[in-house]
Structures are given as C-alpha cells and as structure tokens.
Amino acid sequence: MSRVALNVDSYEGNDTPSVEIARFVVLYGKASTRKHKIWEGDGILVCYGDCAVLKSEDERDVICRSSAVKNLDQLDEDRTINIGSWSVQIQKRIPTTSSESMKTSSGIQNPPPSALRHLNTRDPMRIPETATMKRANNGMSEENLLAPRPPPKKRPSFVPPLIGSTTSSDGTTTISIEEKTPPFVLNEEDILQRKTTSAICVDSRFSRHLRDHQKDGIKFLFQRLKGETGGAILADDMGLGKSIQTMAATWALLRGSRPPASQIASSCLIVVPSSLVNNWKAEFDKWYRMMRFPAVIALTARDISTYQSTVKSMPYLIISYDLAQRHAEKLEMCRFDVLVCDEGHKLKNLDGRLRKTRSKSGFGT
Ligand SMILES: Nc1ncnc2c1ncn2[C@@H]1O[C@H](COP(=O)(O)OP(=O)(O)OP(=O)(O)O)[C@@H](O)[C@H]1O
C-alpha cells in the first residue's frame, strides 16, 4: 500500500476550528514501521483549513491534531497517512458538518475554492467574508455558519463478526465460531446469469465489511482452488487485506458452497513467518471470534497432534515456517486439502520436505 507524505506537523493550537473542509471515516493505530499494522479503532478525521483533527468514532475524544493537511485530493480510500504519532487509513469520505449546514440553507455542498483559501488561516473564526462567500452563503450570516453543529450521526461501530477465543492449559489457542446467520453468496449474480453453478459462500457478517477488490480476490482464489490441482498467488499490495481474503476464500472451501452442498475441503494449513504468527492470530481474533470455525495456533509439535484429533471442528492450523520445517513429516500425515503460504517467497529457502507436504491445492500471498 502506498503511503503519502502529507504536510502534517504537530499542531499545538487549542482553538477549535469551526469550518470543515473535509471529513473521513478512518481506521487508526499507533504509527509504526511494522508491515502488519494492527488498527486500534475506527475514527473520524476532520480537516479544517489549517489543521486536521483525528477523533474517536463518537467524536467525544480528540486523539491528535496536526497542522496543514493540504493534499486533500490525495486522501483516497485505503490511503494510509501519518498524523503525529498515529497512522490513519482512510476508509471513505463523508459529508462535512459545514457542508450539511450550508446545503440546507443554500443547496451548495462545499465552500468554493476561493473561500477555502480564506479558511487556511490560524483563526478560522475570523474569516473575512468575500463576495464569493456571500454568494455561497446565500445571505447566511457568519453567526449561522458558526452555530453549534448538529450532533454527529452515529455510525454503527465495528462489531467483530465472529466472537471469542479460548486458550487451553497447554497454550493451544482455539478460536471457535458460531454461525448464526445464513451465509452470503458472493457470486449470486454470476449464478443468476448461469456463468457458474458453484456458489461462493462467505459469512454474512464478514461479507458486509468486504471491499470490492477483496470480493474479486476471494472469487479468484475460490475459482482457482476448487479444482483438483488449483493454485494461486494473491499479490495485492501491502495492507489491502490479503488475510481477510484468505480467510473468506478458505471459509468458502471449508464450509462448502450453498447448503446442503458438501464442503470442498476439510483442512487448511497456513504457514507464515514466525514474526507473523501473532498477526494471524489477531486477524482471526478480529474476524472470527466466537463462531464455530476454529483455528489451532501451533507453537509446539504437540499442537500438531492436537490438531490431528480435532481437525473436524478446527479445520485451520497456523504454523511458522520454522516449526513446519522441523515437523514436516508430522504435517505430511495431516494431508491438508489447502495450503496457504504467507510471504510465499520464503518457500524457496526451505528444504524439500515442506514443499512436498501433500495438499490438493494451495496458494501464496
Ligand atoms: N474490509 C476491511 N474492513 C476493515 N478492516 C480491514 C478490511 N480489510 C482489511 N482490514 C484490516 O486492514 C489491516 C491490513 O490487512 P492485512 O494485514 O490483511 O493486509 P495484507 O494485504 O495482508 O498486508 P501485508 O502485505 O502487509 O501482509 C488489518 O488490520 C485488517 O484487519
């Protein structure tokens, strides 16, 4: 994922700016150079003429402020920017409260660019009213413009679709998933148009969060993997959600297509660099909590044995390359149906045993 360097310096001002230029729904987390960033929450990024304010989702808390976010046109969906010590990923642009109030009275959605020039001052409370602005305001007084903003519309907060995980005394983590709603058929349209007969089912709570490119990726993976000798490389850019696509595509394979059709695969091995085992666990925690759809995180050889005896209810085994290489024979006995290799280029450094681990299909990300 590309990063854009915006002109954001620490903003010390305490004044609350009044006129918004842009407003975005964002994900935010502490800025880090880590490849796999963990977002800490949903938030709102409000851009004023001379600063940007990152707020909590309900807008009660200000998380950080920065001065002069100028390249607003570069704030596309999925763009990640750094604001102070926070990383922010733009989810979508939403109407500003200023534009809403202006729209009601004048039908104009955004202040014209010439007006914005004047907003780029340290004290937006004292905007010199220009002729252009007068037209834009359509007789609206400055007082009205600065009137208290309507309370922000409450956006439903992110609810992990799948809830709850357990850690047993031996340290094995299982994530159990309880299916409550009928699955969502990702390729309903293709089926209606008789382009395909296999429905790609993903959990409906899962599906409402998927972005279009992710739906395409899931369809691609599913189509490639459902064959006997399928394989695929998912080479999306960093941070575009390859993990969620992997989870959704394998879910469709493991849980079968539209009921009562039988499942296509019954076991899935996910091999990842040691440094990313916890990220995968966190990703599973985030998306699959409390559903009857479990994963075993292999930290020792014993976990592989546990997995063997519980594979029916826990079809995923997540393991590091190091451990997988050391226990390749044991893994071979599991006869996985699907093999996922995160950072798949690492495979070339392994000796032949893991590569020979039997799987009907597999893919790398
Ligand atoms: N549709 C979505 N809705 C909400 N959050 C999402 C969505 N897709 C991905 N994310 C979140 O974005 C973050 C980055 O996703 P992920 O780690 O899967 O990216 P990636 O493509 O695997 O990146 P990398 O190439 O760095 O491995 C994760 O925290 C993930 O939960």
302: CA distance to ligand 1 center in Å?
30
pLDDT digits (tens, 9 = 90+) for 218-228: 888 888 887 76
- Please tell me the residue having the least CA distance from ligand 1 atom 3: 209
Per-residue HEC secondary structure of 115-134 comes to HHHHHCCCCHHHCCCCHHHH
Q: With H, G, I as helix, E, B as strand and everything else as coil, classify residue 36.
A: coil
Q: Domain locations in the chain?
A: 1-157, 165-364
Could you give the percent of the chain with pLDDT greater than 70? 58
Above 80 in pLDDT, residue 337? yes
DSSP state of 37: P
Measured distance CA(245)–CA(249) in Å, rounded: 6
Distance 241 CA to ligand 1 centre (A): 3
- Residue list, ligand 1 pocket, CB within 6 Å: 35-36, 39, 209-211, 214, 236, 238-244, 283, 286
Return contacts of 28-36, CB within 8 angstroms, 24+ apart.
28/54, 28/63, 28/86, 28/87, 28/88, 28/89, 29/86, 29/87, 30/85, 30/86, 30/87, 31/82, 31/84, 31/85, 31/86, 31/87, 32/87, 35/238, 36/276, 36/279
Query: How far apart are the CA of 356 and the centre of ligand 1, in A?
Result: 29
Phi, psi dihedral angles at 197 (to 5 degrees): -110, -15
- Helix and strand numbers (H, E) in the chain are 13, 17
Average pLDDT over residues 171-198: 60
The CATH H-level (homologous superfamily) assignment of domain 165-364 is Tandem AAA-ATPase domain (3.40.50.10810)
Asked if 218 and 249 touch (Cβ cutoff 8 Å), the reply is yes
Q: What three-state secondary structure class fits 102?
A: helix
Distance CA 182, CA 192 (A): 19
> Token pair 């006869």 is at which residue?
335
Which 8-state DSSP code applies to residue 96?
-
77 touches 70 (CB < 8 A): no
Give yes or no for residue 135 having a pLDDT over 80.
no
Can the peptide bond before residue 156 be classed as cis, meaning omega within 30 degrees of 0? no
Report the nearest atom of ligand 1 relative to the CA of 89: 12
**pTM (two decimals):** 0.53
ipTM above 0.85 for this complex = yes
Taking the CA of residue 342 as reference, the ligand 1 atom at the shortest distance is 27
Summarised one tens digit per residue, pLDDT across range 73-118 is 777 777 788 887 888 888 888 888 765 444 434 343 444 433 333 3
Q: Probe ligand 1: pick from 3, 237, 244, 286, max atoms within 8 Å of CB?
A: 244
